[in-house]
Amino acid sequence: MFVFLIVVALLLLTTLYVARAAWSPYGGRGRRRLLHWARGWWRGDQAENRDEY
């Protein structure tokens, strides 16, 4: 049950972060940046993404 609460909290925080990125002045660019960062984090390199914006 405790693990379930942690998962729900993480999902809520992620949703809020994505919503903030989507509604930022950058519009879709913020969301794309978030996806690029998530992909880089998943690969294990925290370096700034080298992909095009």
Cα dihedral across residues 42, 45, 47, 49: positive or negative: negative
Q: What is the pLDDT of residues 4-48, one digit of tens each?
A: 999 999 999 888 777 766 665 555 566 667 777 777 766 665 455
According to the model, what pLDDT value does residue 9 have?
Answer: 94
pTM for this predicted structure: 0.39
27-33: long-range contacts at Cβ-Cβ below 8 A with a sequence spacing of 24 or more? 29/53
What is the pLDDT, as a whole number, of residue 39? Answer: 73
Given this model, what pLDDT does residue 6 score?
93
